[in-house]
Structure 1
Amino acid sequence: MTSATASLAAHLLSVRKGVSAPLTQVPTDLVPTMVTEAYAVQNSVAAALGPVRGWKVGASSPEAEPSAAPLHEDTLFPDGAIIPADFLRHRGVETEIAWRFAHDVGDTITRETVLNAIGSVHPVIEIVDTRYERPASQPSLAHMADQQSHGALVVGAAFSHWKTFDPASEHFVLRIDHRQTAERIGGNAAGDPLRLLVWLARHAAERGLPITAGTIVTTGSLSGATFVPHRTHVSACFDTLGSVSAFLA
């Protein structure tokens, strides 16, 4: 890790701990210039925050190179959770689908071994947040370094028949304070989420953070982010997967 990436990681950790105020603008000499530098910052932050229990992975198109960020245990919440008011600075609500691994992927990583390790698929809500002053205010690699703007992940009940599940044809409705704000069939820009999972298994192993049993992986926004105020109830209801909800205090 370079001195610049170490400095950015230290600042992001300081903001998380409430010691430092969020940066209005990342100094030019601290902005990562390569994806590998952004991932080095992620690794440093994740190591300090505790065990990695999940990942977020996505891509801008079916052909695009994916990107990812590890998620630590304290940002994962169960269905129906009340997320404390001081846990998030910003609250960007996104409807997503996540996959939980029932087994370690292991050292031999192929599409077959990755799919064989999956145990279930889940409805989830990701809450977008940032350790910078405002969302989408910095160069893209600076936001990638900041755990790809991850705030929290609310995980719904398991659907174990995932091999018969078709994400592209799944209908969902997002409600904010019980009012419908989004409705769509499919909608993941990355296309096939299983491609993302195979890519992630290799990527995570290369970073020394291999996919193990219990890991939850969310595969990108279906609805886009809607920023909401404090004291907001959010829910997403899927035709096949069921519903997931949370109260953002």
Structure 2
Amino acid sequence: MSLDESKLQEYAEQLHDAWASKTPVEPLSNDTAFDTADAYEIQSRVVDRILDDGDEIAGHKLGLVSAAKQEQLGIDEPIFGYFTEGGILDEPVVRTDELIAPRLEAEIGLVLDEDVPAPASVTDVLSATGAVVPVVEILESRFAGWEIPSAQDVIADNTSAGKVVVGETHSDVTDVDLRMESVVVSKNGEVVSSGTGADIMGNPARAVAWLGDRLEDVDDRLEAGELVMTGGITAADDMEPGDVYHVEFGSIGSIDVRAE
């Protein structure tokens, strides 16, 4: 079902207001079913409003990169969104009272030194990558209780973008086996999740190549200077004040994060 102009604008305003006020809303699809194209249009309008507020795009982010997650939410491809400079934390401290319901997951980040035009291949992505960095994403849903009945809801909500912690270690891509790069997430001294880069479409670079092709559909592209978050390797973990996380990657570094 395709939404009319008034509904697109209404949903975009709802989500932007929820983002700005940190007050959750009910899933949009509870009101009206809508398709993936509409979801990306809503997302675009929400992001435009955030930029109008004075923020800047820092890069792209991938979501639903595993077949299991896609099947769960009824979509046959990954999804993508944006994160902004204002969402990158200067220090690894998550102030939970400034968020609705934060969740933490580990990701591999690729810093691009060159544009990646479509059609893109894994080789193109690797050639354009200047550095591999460890990333922790603090996911944030604008939907009450993390109720997300459809992939279209997630897309419209900018793929649950929240905050980002970027590790200090920058590794040369030629020194990293992205498929075999492992990560273990510990919370308060106990392991809560783990995974490898192969969990990201078999290779995180393949996910980024897919993104480069898909962005052409929305008149966008992967550009030099941006950070691409390749999607969650680990399951997202609910954060509470006092939680302390240690995120240890196999070769690209580690990140410590605490919730206050």
Pair 1:242 & 2:247 matched: no
Match of 1:71 in 2: 83
Residue 154 (structure 1) shift: 1.1
* Closer, same or farther: CA 24–71 of 1 in aligned 2, 3 Å: same
Give the alignment of 1:100-119 within 5 angstroms: 100-105=111-116, 107=117, 109-111=119-121, 112-119=123-130
- The number of residues matched between the two structures is 245
- Equivalent of 1:83 in 94, 102, 116: 94
Q: Percent identity?
A: 24
Match of 2:57 in 1: 52
Match of 1:61 in 2: 67
Taking structure 1 as the reference length, the TM-score comes to: 0.86
Out of 22-31 and 65-74, give the one that drifted further.
22-31
Contact 1:101 1:212 (C-alpha < 8 Å) held by counterparts: yes
Deviations for 1:74-117, whole angstroms, at most 9, x for unmatched residues? 11225x42233333211211111111112233x56432444322
* Closer, same or farther: CA 208–27 of 1 in aligned 2, 3 Å: closer
* Closer, same or farther: CA 60–182 of 1 in aligned 2, 3 Å: closer
Aligned equivalents of 2:199, 2:253: Cα separation in 1: 18
Aligned equivalents of 1:192, 1:45: Cα separation in 2: 30
* Closer, same or farther: CA 139–61 of 1 in aligned 2, 3 Å: closer
Contact 2:113 2:130 (C-alpha < 8 Å) held by counterparts: yes
Aligned equivalents of 1:92, 1:189: Cα separation in 2: 19
Contact 1:169 1:186 (C-alpha < 8 Å) held by counterparts: yes
Aligned equivalents of 1:138, 1:206: Cα separation in 2: 25
1:74 corresponds to which letter in structure 2? G
Pair 1:5 & 2:15 matched: no
Contact 2:194 2:233 (C-alpha < 8 Å) held by counterparts: no
Taking structure 2 as the reference length, the TM-score comes to: 0.83
* Closer, same or farther: CA 25–116 of 1 in aligned 2, 3 Å: closer
- List alignment gaps of at least 5 residues for structure 2: 71-75
SS in 2 for 1:6: helix
Aligned equivalents of 1:209, 1:240: Cα separation in 2: 32
Contact 1:25 1:138 (C-alpha < 8 Å) held by counterparts: yes
Q: CA RMSD in A?
A: 2.5
Contact 1:55 1:217 (C-alpha < 8 Å) held by counterparts: yes
- List alignment gaps of at least 5 residues for structure 1: none
2:108 corresponds to which letter in structure 1? I
Contact 2:108 2:230 (C-alpha < 8 Å) held by counterparts: yes
Aligned equivalents of 1:65, 1:137: Cα separation in 2: 17
Residue 130 (structure 1) shift: 0.8
Residue 187 (structure 1) shift: 5.7
Residue 185 (structure 1) shift: 4.3
- Equivalent of 1:202 in 196, 213, 224: 213
Out of 131-140 and 67-76, give the one that drifted further.
131-140
* Closer, same or farther: CA 184–194 of 1 in aligned 2, 3 Å: closer
Contact 1:136 1:143 (C-alpha < 8 Å) held by counterparts: no
